[in-house]
Amino acid sequence: MASLSRDRLEAALARINDPKGEGSRAFRKLYAEEARAAADAADARAKHGHSLGPLDGKIVSIKDLFDVAGEPTTGGAKVYESAAPAKADAPVIQRLRGAGAVIVGKTNMTEFAFSGIGMNPHYGTPGNPADRGRVPGGSSSGAAVALADGMCEISIGSDTGGSVRVPAAFCGVTGFKPTQSRIPRTGAMALSLTLDSVGPMTPSIADAAATDAILAGERPPKLVLREPSALRLAVARGRLLSGLDKAVESAFDRAIFLLGRAGARIVDIDIEPLLDGLDQIHAIGSISAVEAAYVHRDVLDKRAREIDQRVVRRIQSGCKVSGADYVRMIEIRRATVEKAAEQFAPYDAIVLPTTAIVAPVIADLAKDDELFARVNLHVLRNTTVFNLLDCCGLSLPIPDAGPLPVGFMMMGARGTDANILAAGVAVEKLFH
């Protein structure tokens, strides 16, 4: 017999409120009484044999950048605590409520969602579940820790350059980044109008697929059961496999070995020409920085000293890009996305380690701005490429990777979300 939603919620709330745990750093706001009412309603429906779908009664956290009616949307920033309250729930929040999800609270994040590390100087940094002295990954930091620590059953985050997949990899959970256009971003505080996407972190790919469908306003899919021997996987050899931690390299090699032994067809693929195209963008500047400078222009002009200065410096670099150069970046990206879609079409997934390194130590990064900047770029290197290429994809934990989790990233061309999820199920089954 399935456990009651109310019982599971109370267990989650107990973990959040445990003074020895990470709840105070993982969450920015709790909706305890509202969640209890939603859980009770879900249990009443279940008692009478009525279900609103696979998320009915599930305990869900939402990142601190989604609008909830009647409260300001702060995006991990103190400067927005006094902002005007949202007039309505964001569409994805409406869809979650309509599916019976029990929204337990808003999770902490990197300020403005602008870092893959997950540190926040205002509200604290939730410790990595595998080692509390290490970062959780970002920007959806609290989302990953909340899920891994049993404070919720599903976490909703956003991914601009890896902000779902990186914390999923560091914290040992599954993260899914959809093709950007499938899920509405209205009511989600933007970092990059061009690159932002909304996606879940979940215990399994089946949960990810169900959640993704609800967020997209689609019917939850019946995932096609596939065997690893039916998969066509391409390893992106080259610079994205350079500079790996030994633990990451060993875990990824073992994952490829397991897949090959199970009969998956694995080939090497050269994506260096695509990366050369993206290098042309990087030579001009950062699309995210330019667009963040627009989104947050008012507080940057008036209250920059109250914002994480590491975030401020990254955004201010976008102010130096001219309008003509910005359009040039967008046009280069458009052309490169088309080439990627064509090159990736023959494969079920392009595979790589999600991050080149395991989760770094919080204290090391806190005291050294130069180290922080360098590590942040290295952490985001593999994931950011696929946001720029408008891909969809997963990060799932590699088994027996060692004391610190390592993520296995599976990316597909835009619009191949269902195929990536089905391929992911086959890999997940093998890994377990």
159-172 pLDDT, tens digit each: 999 999 999 999 99
User: Could you tell me if 232 and 192 lie in one domain?
Assistant: no
Same domain, yes or no: 12 and 122: yes
**CB neighbourhood size of 320 (10 A):** 12
Domain membership of residue 341 (yes or no) is yes
- On whether both 141 and 261 belong to a single domain, the answer is no
- In the residue annotation, 63 being an active-site residue is answered as yes
Is the same domain home to 377 and 427?
Answer: yes
Instruction: Quote the tokens at residue 28.
Output: 């920015």
Rounded mean pLDDT, 243-269: 98
Type of residue found at 161: G
163 is catalytic: yes
**How far is the CA of 150 from the CAs of 7, 23, 146, 173, in angstroms?**
13, 10, 6, 11
261 shares its domain with 348: yes
- Domain assignment present for 194: yes
Is residue 216 within 8 A of residue 182, CB to CB? The reply is yes
* Same domain as 64, residue 163: yes
Q: Is residue 312 part of a domain?
A: no
Tell me how far apart the alpha carbons of residues 330 and 280 are, in angstroms, rounded to a whole number.
Answer: 11
pLDDT for 225 = 83
In a domain, 305, yes or no: no
Claim to verify: residue 195 and residue 268 sit in the same structural domain: no
The string of pLDDT tens digits covering residues 154-208 is 999 999 999 999 999 999 999 999 999 999 999 999 999 999 999 999 999 999 9
Residue 105's pLDDT is 98
Domain containing residue 103: CATH number: 3.90.1300.10
Q: Is residue 76 part of a domain?
A: yes
Q: pLDDT tens across 327-342, in order?
A: 999 999 999 999 999 9
Question: Which one of 115, 140, 163, 286 is the catalytic residue?
Answer: 163
Residues 233 and 199 placed together within one structural domain of the fold: no
Which is the catalytic residue, given 63, 115, 155, 286?
Answer: 63
Mean pLDDT, rounded, of the chain: 97
Statement: residue 344 has pLDDT above 60: yes
Is 139 among the residues known to form the active site?
Answer: yes
Cβ-based neighbours of 318, under 8 Å, separated by 6 or more: 285, 286, 288, 289, 290, 291, 292, 293
> 3-class SS at 30?
strand
Nearest to 94 by CA among 188, 174, 180, 178: 188
Domain termination residue (choose one: 169, 194, 216): 216
The number of distinct structural domains making up the chain is: 2
Domain match, 163 and 243 both: no
End residue of a domain, out of 216, 236, 265: 216
In 3D, which of 217, 214, 144, 194 has the Cα closest to residue 397? 144
Q: Do 392 and 423 have their domain in common?
A: yes
**Do residue 11 and residue 59 come from a single domain?**
yes
Residue 223 pLDDT exceeds 90 = no
For residue 392, pLDDT over 60 is answered with: yes
Tokens of 277: 């195209």
Contact 158, 197 (CB under 8 A): yes
Class of residue 370 by CB neighbours under 10 A (exposed 0-12, middle 13-18, buried 19+): exposed
The boundaries of the domain holding residue 360 are 228-273+332-431
Residue 220 has pLDDT above 90, yes or no: no
Does 323 reside within a domain?
Answer: no
Q: What is the DSSP string of 114-183?
A: --SS---TTT--PPBTTBTTB---SSSHHHHHHHHTTS-SEEEEEESSSTTHHHHHHHT-EEEE--GGGS
Mean pLDDT value across residues 317-335? 97
CA distance readout (Å), 164 to 99, 113, 138, 188, 401: 22, 11, 7, 15, 20
Write down the pLDDT at residue 430. Answer: 96
| pTM tops 0.75, yes or no | yes
- Single out the catalytic residue among 5, 61, 115, 139: 139
Residue 308 located in a structural domain = no
Q: What's the pLDDT at 221?
A: 82
- 166 and 258 within one domain: no
Establish if 319 belongs to a structural domain.
no
Task: Give the Cβ contact number of residue 180 at 10 Å.
Answer: 20
